[in-house]
A and B are shown apart, each in its own frame.
Chain A
């Protein structure tokens, strides 16, 4: 029987958890048996369960999710409009080209620090996650639009098919697979950059603030618990959005 090509095999995950446990115990030996420097996997899980039982935990998750995913959706909307314009108007593409290159190349912390000069920390993660997501989504959409079938577009032109119908029938099936890749890449990016922005900006009641507090008080259990939360929400939102997109791709026949 052919073995499934899973990205993570159970034995490999178990191995690294054991390494983590071993490292935690070894470091505990240097601090009189107390796992201060590196919490064990069991401690981290315990802290996660304890935190999940509090209202403040869910408020923090909601606060950060709203801003980080908000930034993601705003960036997608902006990228959709600008990529459509850039395909029609050469000067729009030329104008955006250096901006996209700069956003791709400049480290995210530089943007975070710069943005903090002008903005309150509360909505910093919205701006930063949007900024990081915009280039891949814009570039992928641009490529998708350019891959729209020229022969079908000519056919639509001859038959005088209205633009709305062309968008649904020709452009959408061409663009959706590219948009899917961009979403998959962008969602991971926006959670990483959004969390980094919160850790630096420290907006009250955010996941980033909780991470920072855990670092200051050496609460490595909390640090791992909050990190697990970020990973979980990131993966969940990606899976949910990709499932919705796959349904749209199937419907559009892309």
Chain B
């Protein structure tokens, strides 16, 4: 599956956020790189269907099941880690798979812990675990490794690679280290 973005433009009032963005993301991880404040998040929001582009087209995502890590963690603070995963997965929640992935992301035995008590890095990893456990055709990640140390980032990137397989992954980042070993598109 390919995600094809052609001549995408988006402005908020007088401020042009995306100017004629064109790229193709094939199977595996494609890193979209740009400095902070250059419309990466807006691009991802358009691809997720949360924002409308002023002009341009996106092909390959219509009707597809998407999964995402947002710029913010967007976790339900009052629920446990397991509660957050169940909220998204419903009956598809597999406790063994969840435990294994949480352990792999260095969150062992945290299933019962309330998210409110999590540190910033733990929240980020839980948000990533949620995105990886949810069923998806394409995975869109907005700065998913923010706040993680090198060791945890490498673990997380390896988990993304393995889980995604040959499905399309769009990894939006400003950090060249995050994009190591990925195809890179520069905005």
Interface residues of A (CB under 8 A from B): 151-152, 154-162, 165, 169-170, 173, 252-254
Contact = CB atoms under 8 A, between A and B. Distances in A.
Contacts of B87: 156, 161, 165, 169
A151 B90 contact: no
Contacts of B79: 169, 253
A151 B88 contact: no
Interface in B57-72: 65-68, 70, 72
Given A154-B50, A154-B74, 5 more contacts: A156-B88, A157-B49, A165-B90, A169-B87, A170-B76
B184 interface: no
A217 B48 CA distance: 74
Nearest to B84: A169
29 contacts: A151-B74, A152-B74, A152-B76, A154-B50, A154-B70, A154-B74, A155-B70, A156-B87, A156-B88, A157-B49, A157-B50, A158-B48, A158-B50, A158-B66, A158-B68, A159-B67, A159-B68, A159-B88, A159-B134, A160-B65, A161-B87, A161-B90, A169-B76, A169-B87, A173-B78, A252-B78, A253-B76, A253-B77, A254-B78
A71 B164 CA distance: 56
Contacts of A151: 70, 72, 74
Most interface-central of A155, A157, A173 (chain B CB within 10 A): A155
Interface of B: 48-50, 65-68, 70, 72, 74, 76-79, 87-88, 90, 130, 134
B90 A155 contact: no
A146 B67 CA distance: 26
Nearest to A169: B87
Most interface-central of A154, A252, A254 (chain B CB within 10 A): A154
A152 B75 CA distance: 7
Nearest to A157: B50
Given A165-B87, A169-B87, A155 B65 contact: no
B53 to A, nearest CB: 17
Contacts of A158: 48-50, 66-68
A182 to B, nearest CB: 21
A1 to B, nearest CB: 32
B126 to A, nearest CB: 13
Contacts of B77: 253
A127 B155 CA distance: 63
A253 B116 CA distance: 10
A252 B114 CA distance: 12
B113 to A, nearest CB: 14
Nearest to B130: A159
Contacts of B48: 158
B41 to A, nearest CB: 12
Contacts of B72: 151
A21 B78 CA distance: 53
B50 A161 contact: no
B70 A161 contact: no
A177 to B, nearest CB: 12
- List the 8 shortest-distance A-B pairs measured between CB atoms, nearest first: A253-B78, A155-B74, A159-B88, A169-B87, A151-B74, A158-B48, A158-B68, A154-B50
B78 to A, nearest CB: 2
Nearest to B136: A159
B42 to A, nearest CB: 14
